[in-house]
Amino acid sequence: MCHECDLLQRRAPCPHGGVLRCGRCGAELERDHADSGTRSLALAAAALLLFAISNLYPIVGLAVNGHVVQATLWGSVEMLYRDGMWPISGLVFITTMVMPATQIVALLWLLVPLALGRKPWRANIVFRVMGVARSWGMTEVLILGLLVALVKLAHIATVVTGTALWSFGALMIVLAGAGASLDVAAVWHRIAPMSSLLDSHQPERAERCATPLPGFTGATCGIALCHCCELLVRMPAHAGAVACPRCATPLHLRKPASLSRTWAFLIASIVLYVPANVLPVMDTSSLFGTQKDTIMSGVAYLWVSGSWPLAVLVFIASIAVPMVKILGLAYLALSAQRASQWLPGERARIYRMIELVGRWSMLDIYVVTMLVALVQFSALAMIKAGPAAIAFGAVVVMTMFAANAFDPRLIWDPVEFDHA
């Protein structure tokens, strides 16, 4: 079953190194993972070592007149907290330290016992936690933010790259590889072998749903796909909460109150988008006075200083992407609410694009975090985060919540009902 459009499809053998995609919306259904368990375990162990190095050693240093300031990730978080920017401090701490660490520990928690021939304890809870950690861990965005910060710092003083900068780059690659190589279905088959529950008490309907006609969906069959363990489960005819029999994840044919929650998060993000772009995101104090920079003035500074590729990158990530996310989600929610049948395939691709680019809006937050930690020369210059940083961080979080609340299967329901 497709998790995005709910279409039931006959399962075909996945080619070696290939990918199976939904025949209606193009979403990825299955990917061939060669030697998944061993590869994921090795990459997770390497990620644990790299994560420790990344958080123990300085990321970058700044030297002015013989005075050197070095910054670690934890030191940057602590500096923001001391400056009264605890919301941004907490956001950076969660997305760059807590979530990557949680993902690494969860992978090891699941794979080490399996490698020893045992079943991991509380695998269902660990799997759900790992799913959240993968969505909110933003190591790759942090790396790009560090590179932008280095370009800005190079105009202030001598920049010395630290060990953690390189280990963070390696961690980004290794952690992405560990997650991509994990075969969730194979792991769950080893933990709790179980066939899809298509209601053995109704064999005729179960057989019909196992080999559906084109356009036949899980909702019309009363079948739900567990997004945690990928088990197909027969939903009871009566209303009420249902849990997956294998991993105990709550199951629904459609996300509860999807559109109302999406609109609530969208309205909040629209309200916050204005102060995020109008108020100063960074306050700089120096011998020449005080300067307050907005996100747009930071883009202009990069452009004037000759770093136009980074200027374009920051403009796209910090200004264009949040606006596109808000407009795109509003369009998807409105069209789903009006039961529109117009171009469902294109709308499904818009949703996948919004999910893909959502986290990259955090770029400017990480740039400010590093600048605040490093530019602390009290006699020469100091940088502090401005009020727009909090508003901008809230915009990123609200739009990610909105994308998560929206159920892409609502795009296809009017098409299905029309052909019923």
The pLDDT assigned to 160 comes to 82
Percent of the chain scored above 70 by pLDDT?
88
Does residue 44 surpass a pLDDT of 70? yes
Helices 321-337 and 258-278 pack at an angle, to 10 degrees, of 150
The pLDDT assigned to 11 comes to 72
Query: Distance (Å, rounded) from C-alpha 25 to C-alpha 416?
Result: 13
The pLDDT assigned to 204 comes to 35
**Side by side, which strands form the sheet with 60-64?**
67-71, 60-64, 158-161
Beta bridge partners of 384: 283
Pairing type for strands 67-71 and 60-64 reads antiparallel
> At residue 64, what is the residue type?
V
pLDDT mean across residues, the chain: 83
Reported as a single tens digit per residue, the pLDDT across 292-336 is 778 888 788 778 877 778 788 888 888 888 899 999 999 999 999
Query: Which of the four CATH numbers 3.30.420, 1.20.140, 1.20.1070, 1.10.3470 does domain 254-420 have?
Result: 1.20.140
Beta bridge partners of 69: 62
Confidence at 129, pLDDT banded by 50, 70, 90: very high
**DSSP state string for 187-234:** HHHHHS----B--TT-HHHHHHHHSPPTT-BHHHHTEEE-TTT--EEE
Does residue 21 surpass a pLDDT of 90? no
Mean pLDDT of 340-344: 87
Mean pLDDT of 61-73: 78
> At residue 133, what is the residue type?
A
Query: Distance (Å, rounded) from C-alpha 132 to C-alpha 130?
Result: 5
Higher-pLDDT residue of 214, 140: 140
Query: Distance (Å, rounded) from C-alpha 146 to C-alpha 138?
Result: 12
Query: Distance (Å, rounded) from C-alpha 300 to C-alpha 286?
Result: 20
**Side by side, which strands form the sheet with 282-286?**
289-293, 282-286, 381-385, 376-377
Is the CB of residue 73 less than 8 Å from the CB of residue 115? no
Q: CA distances (Å), 202 to each of 81, 193, 198, 325, in order? A: 59, 22, 8, 44
Other CB atoms closer than 10 Å to residue 143's CB: what's the count? 16
Is the CB of residue 363 less than 8 Å from the CB of residue 269? no
Query: Distance (Å, rounded) from C-alpha 172 to C-alpha 47?
Result: 9
Reported as a single tens digit per residue, the pLDDT across 137-155 is 999 899 888 888 888 777 7
The pLDDT assigned to 205 comes to 35
Strongest mean pLDDT among 170-174, 182-186, 415-419: 170-174
Query: Distance (Å, rounded) from C-alpha 152 to C-alpha 155?
Result: 6
Does residue 109 surpass a pLDDT of 90? yes
Query: Distance (Å, rounded) from C-alpha 265 to C-alpha 397?
Result: 9
Is the CB of residue 294 less than 8 Å from the CB of residue 315? no
Structural domain boundaries of the chain?
19-31+193-246, 36-192+247-251, 254-420
Reported as a single tens digit per residue, the pLDDT across 220-258 is 888 888 888 888 888 876 655 688 888 888 888 888 899
Nearest-CA neighbor of 124 among 7, 277, 249, 282?
249
Does residue 37 surpass a pLDDT of 60? yes
Strongest mean pLDDT among 13-27, 116-130, 352-366: 116-130
Reported as a single tens digit per residue, the pLDDT across 274-295 is 999 888 888 776 655 577 778 8
The pLDDT assigned to 208 comes to 34
The pLDDT assigned to 314 comes to 81
Does residue 10 surpass a pLDDT of 60? yes
Reduced to 3 states, what is the DSSP secondary structure of residue 403?
A: helix
Which region among 60-64, 73-77, 254-258 has the lowest average model confidence (pLDDT)?
A: 60-64
Nearest-CA neighbor of 273 among 327, 320, 323?
323
Reduced to 3 states, what is the DSSP secondary structure of residue 65?
A: coil
The pLDDT assigned to 288 comes to 55
Write out the two tokens for 112: 């080490």
Does residue 380 surpass a pLDDT of 70? no
The pLDDT assigned to 379 comes to 47
